[in-house]
Amino acid sequence: MTSPASTVEELLHRQGALEDFGEPLAATTFVTVDLETTGTSPASSQITEIGAVKTRGGEVIGEFQTLVDPGSPIPPMIVALTGITDAMVVAAPRIDAVLPAFLEFLGDAVVVAHNAPFDVGFLKTACRTHGYAWPGNDVVDTVTLARRATTKEEAPNKKLSTLARVFGTAVEPNHRALEDARATSEILHRMLERCAAFGITHREDLEALRNPMPEKLRRKATMADAVPAKPGVYTFRGPRGERLYVGTSKNLRSRVKSYFTKAEQRRRIREMLDLAVDVDTIVCATELEANVREVRLIAEHRPRYNRRSARPERTPWVRLTDERYPRMGVSRALARPAGALGPMRSAADARLAIEVLQSALGVRTCTTRLPITPRAGARACLLKDLGACAAPCVRGAESGYDEAAAFARAALAEDPTPVVSALESLIAERSAAMDYERAAELRDGISAVIEGAMRAQRLDALARCGIVATRGDGAGWDIVALRGGALVGSARVESRSQVWAAADRLRARTATLDLEETVLIEERELVSRWIETPGTRLLHVDGEWSMPTASAGRHARWVDARRADREGAFEWRRGEPAR
């Protein structure tokens, strides 16, 4: 007997080494920019000169410089400061002609400037005015960086001239764009050398320059030192070894380090980091394996600071109650109860589904547990007179309620078409009467029923077979083995020629497994989505992976309509027109 969790750990077959993720600052391209302008406000002033220096690994690999015709006289004070006169720019290009070449020079490099909001603000305004999209590059402000890298004693202020003196730059700033950009570039690299002590060693760490972490958390960044730069699962532990938080990443070292070098705004996570004293990691062959392990660990250990999957046994299902004259009810369980609809997305969806099922199939809505033989003097409610209920409360077995219950069981466990057929015309009537709110409620109810049935049928079909499948991502191929809806094996290979051999090994090792644990619903849905993602190839299927022709999927348009309505509402809430 083997559990899904232990099987993945024991049966993983890995091939090929994975490259470290993340871009070291030594390999990062920086473009240091400086502008000269006719004033201080982008709304009322214009650019007169652009200077930029492109560097990588501290070496200059390109420079950009041009005067710019501002289209208006340069104020005398600016002439005195920069030495740029109207005569110098009269033959220079206008900014709309300069921008294409500058943006091409910039590329996807990190933008660096001294007092970056000033220079970047002018560039963004120029792009917006002349119809160019600002590329949204990462930005480093050397003023902010200087506050981290220099002391008040050595640099009482953070002016460019002061920092040039502190670091002894070869180029002296002189209020001309290219020379100032050169000086700023030198200062940048000197300060980055100092900032390595704060854990700023990769491009991803630059966010910490804008939102520095408290010192007590920055000191904990050493937790990441022994963490591999590979994909997998990480677990933060508290002072008693308790699991505080579980997560996944494509680069474990970079992700763990980011908690202590970037300003974490979530209150719960900041609280968790205060408590954390250690971190465990599990390297995984594939992203799917990491996601599955995360789900299992959260379900097993209930980490205090994880919200997702905190109580998997509370998954809602819609089913008929176990009594002589059954009612619709919500059942919460880890595994699917017999004949139940679901798993439902939420308790709210379960209630919506119950409402339309009762309306369409004539299932009683009262909550009383009825005796087999009606009590003497029992009275029916208004629904009997309206023809909406067979009233077993007063007519017992002669009411024909058993037929309604049988229809309901079939709709829950097999085919929800009767529900759709019964309510389509009613939705059309409500819409024609401009009662759009009620029409939308009925539409949402049908959608909840269909989505619950689709999920049940997809997951049941997956649980009846064993599958070995693969998918490539350009850098290699992931191979996964599934049995009973659980992930039981995972591997990664570097070339397509290795796929079949790895798949055959996984199949041989997992084909006879007897899974002793209930497979988590969330795990089944993870592997189901992975298998159904375009580009996935099935290599082995043991058993049948199929669904009946009369499956809920043929009514998927109701789910799509509700989803589109929700997405449109979301766009409107953001202040944007729905598309």
Taking only the tens place, the pLDDT of each residue in 154-169 is 999 999 999 999 999 9
E-state strands within 74-221: 110-113, 139-141
- Quote the percentage of the chain above a pLDDT of 90: 42
Encoding tokens for residue 94? 């206008």
Give the CATH number for residue 90: 3.30.420.10
Confidence label for 474 from pLDDT (cuts 50, 70 and 90): confident
Whether residue 21 is predicted with pLDDT greater than 70 in this model: the reply is: no
Confidence label for 77 from pLDDT (cuts 50, 70 and 90): very high
Residue 334 lies in a domain: yes
Residue 468 lies in a domain: no
pLDDT of residue 10: 39
| Maximum average pLDDT range among 51-65, 312-326, 392-406, 457-471 | 51-65
The predicted model gives 317-341 an average pLDDT of: 85
* DSSP string over 156-181: SS--HHHHHHHHT-SS---S-HHHHH
What are φ and ψ of residue 471, in 5° steps?
Answer: -150, 135
pLDDT of residue 11: 37
Residues 446 and 341 in one domain: yes
Encoding tokens for residue 30? 């920086």
Residue 103 lies in a domain: yes
The predicted model gives 119-135 an average pLDDT of: 94
Whether residue 1 is predicted with pLDDT greater than 70 in this model: the reply is: no
pLDDT of residue 457: 86
Whether residue 4 is predicted with pLDDT greater than 70 in this model: the reply is: no
Alpha-carbon span 164 to 110, nearest angstrom: 21
Long-range interactions of 127-131: CB distance < 8 A, separation 24+: 127/99, 127/103, 130/95, 130/96, 130/99
Matching residue, tokens 């003097």? 377
Whether residue 570 is predicted with pLDDT greater than 70 in this model: the reply is: no
Residues 191 and 237 in one domain: no
Residues 250 and 196 in one domain: no
Confidence label for 553 from pLDDT (cuts 50, 70 and 90): confident
CA distances in angstroms from 82 to 51, 71, 169, 182, 230, listed in the order given: 13, 17, 20, 16, 51
Confidence label for 133 from pLDDT (cuts 50, 70 and 90): very high
pLDDT of residue 222: 83
Residue 519 lies in a domain: no
Mapped onto helix, strand or coil, the DSSP state of residue 38 is coil
Is-catalytic flag, 13?
Answer: no
pLDDT of residue 281: 95
Residue 273 lies in a domain: yes
pLDDT of residue 578: 38
pLDDT of residue 380: 77
> Looking at 278, 312, 346, which one is the last position of a domain?
312
Residues 113 and 191 in one domain: yes
299 near 314, Cβ under 8 Å?
no
Q: pLDDT tens digit string along 179-229? A: 999 999 999 999 998 887 766 777 767 766 665 667 778 778 888 888 998
The predicted model gives 261-278 an average pLDDT of: 82
Residues 135 and 264 in one domain: no
Residues 117 and 241 in one domain: no
* H/E element, 440: helix 436-463
pLDDT of residue 32: 97
Residues 325 and 301 in one domain: no
Residues 234 and 380 in one domain: no
Name the catalytic one among 130, 175, 301, 540. Answer: 175
Domains: count for the chain: 3
pLDDT of residue 563: 80
User: What's 443-462 look like in SS3?
Assistant: HHHHHHHHHHHHHHHHHHHH
15 near 489, Cβ under 8 Å?
no
Residues 422 and 344 in one domain: yes
pLDDT of residue 14: 36
Alpha-carbon span 309 to 166, nearest angstrom: 53
User: What's 486-536 look like in SS3?
Assistant: EEEEEEEECCHHHHHHHHHHHHHHHCCCCECCCCCHHHHHHHHHHHHCCCC
> Looking at 415, 434, 450, which one is the last position of a domain?
450
pLDDT of residue 517: 66
Q: Pick the residue with more confidence: 578 or 71?
A: 71
> Looking at 168, 184, 201, which one is the last position of a domain?
201
Q: Pick the residue with more confidence: 345 or 11?
A: 345
Residues 182 and 293 in one domain: no
Residues 263 and 338 in one domain: no
Residue 476 lies in a domain: no
Partnered with residue 246 across adjacent β-strands are 235
Encoding tokens for residue 223? 């937790």
Segments in 234-332 forming alpha helices (H): 252-261, 267-275, 287-301
Alpha-carbon span 35 to 44, nearest angstrom: 15
Assess whether the previous peptide bond of 343 is cis (omega < 30° from 0).
Answer: yes
Sign of the CA dihedral running 472, 475, 480, 486 = negative
Of the candidates 100, 97, 98, 95, the residue with the CA atom closest to the CA atom of residue 72: 95
Q: Pick the residue with more confidence: 516 or 170?
A: 170
Residues 169 and 218 in one domain: no
Residue 177 backbone class (left: φ over 0; alpha: ψ -120 to 50; beta: rest)? alpha
Greatest Cα pair distance, the chain, in angstroms, is: 108
Q: What is the pTM of this model?
A: 0.62
pLDDT of residue 5: 41
Alpha-carbon span 255 to 262, nearest angstrom: 10
318 near 341, Cβ under 8 Å?
yes
Confidence label for 421 from pLDDT (cuts 50, 70 and 90): confident
Q: Pick the residue with more confidence: 313 or 552?
A: 552
The predicted model gives 299-324 an average pLDDT of: 82
Give the CATH number for residue 217: 3.40.1440.10
pLDDT of residue 183: 96
Mapped onto helix, strand or coil, the DSSP state of residue 436 is helix
> Domain residues for 393?
314-450
Confidence label for 288 from pLDDT (cuts 50, 70 and 90): very high
Encoding tokens for residue 431? 């819409």
Mapped onto helix, strand or coil, the DSSP state of residue 58 is coil
- Quote the percentage of the chain above a pLDDT of 70: 88
252 near 283, Cβ under 8 Å?
yes
Query: Which range, of 116-120, 318-322, 377-381, averages the lowest pLDDT?
Result: 377-381
Alpha-carbon span 368 to 66, nearest angstrom: 84
Whether residue 538 is predicted with pLDDT greater than 90 in this model: the reply is: yes
Mapped onto helix, strand or coil, the DSSP state of residue 437 is helix
Query: Which range, of 12-16, 30-34, 242-246, 464-468, averages the lowest pLDDT?
Result: 12-16
Q: How many CA atoms lie within 13 A of 564 on its CB side?
A: 8
* Number of CB atoms found within 10 A of residue 91's CB: 8
Q: Pick the residue with more confidence: 24 or 211?
A: 24
Residue 388 lies in a domain: yes
Whether residue 267 is predicted with pLDDT greater than 70 in this model: the reply is: yes
Mean pLDDT of the chain, nearest integer: 85
pLDDT of residue 556: 83
pLDDT of residue 8: 39
Residue 53 lies in a domain: yes
| Maximum average pLDDT range among 20-29, 71-80, 362-371, 418-427 | 71-80
